[in-house]
Structure 1
Amino acid sequence: MLVTFPLSYPISKLLDCILGQEIGTVYNREKLVEMLKVTEPYNDLVREELNMIQGALELRTKTVEDVMTPLQNCFMINSDAILDFNTMSEIMESGYTRIPVYEDERSNIMDILYVKDLAFVDPDDCTPLKTITKFYNHPVH
């Protein structure tokens, strides 16, 4: 490297003067998303990875209202529920890992039920949900 320096340095400066400084290509978010869509069949990214990248690029334009689930569409469970087979299967079929627990009306969320807390609950015992939520105590902050 030191041997070629006296020759390579003047040549690089001469080329910079003739060709000008290299300016990198700058893309805005919309162009990046479009490039991802166009090159999808040719790149090695999995569909989930593409969705993640696209979501990250669009995050700045999203509002909280866009990403929140309306309260009437949330899967919730009443605090007076009994953890029998039907209730447990409803919880498992919901696919959620954290379930809001409400008291009296759906807007009065009192606790959060973690599905992993149900690992040792036997549906045949018909355990009240309040027993589980008091034991594990995951309050809403």
Structure 2
Amino acid sequence: MRISAVSLALFAGAMAVPVSDNSNTLEKRCEWNDGHGPISCDYFSIVFGAEGRERSEFIIKGNNFEQRGFPRCDPWQGHNYQPFFSPLPYVVMVAPGNTCETRLPEAWWDDLHIKYSSTFLNAPTDTRCGPVENGWGRRCIIAQRP
């Protein structure tokens, strides 16, 4: 029985085994969970009004910390940014907007703005923000080092 060179090459190629295994050197993706879903370790979340809190109260959560904040709700001052310090490399600035209003349930998140370093989020419309707890809360996910 004669084996042609082509058949031998196909057989040898099918039986080839990789010389090295790089699977151990590949890094596994780092994720953590803020209670509302998975987040990459390079990001943090800021959640307003969830878990039975007031709409304006929020929690900033990172992979290794959690900090609560409650902006001042002075009349007609919802557009003013207030600084909140945390273990993050930059200061989180929050303009609470209508989160302080209890009379406008359909517009609770209007004018809720977040600034962090060079990042700006308009919480009701930004794709990095979304509803949690059937709309009672609002969560935004932000890169720690934008």
Structure (1 or 2) with the greater helix fraction: 1
Q: From the two aligned structures, give the one with the greater strand fraction.
A: 2
TM-score (normalised: structure 1): 0.30
What is the TM-score with the length of structure 2 in the denominator? 0.30
Structure showing greater Rg: 1
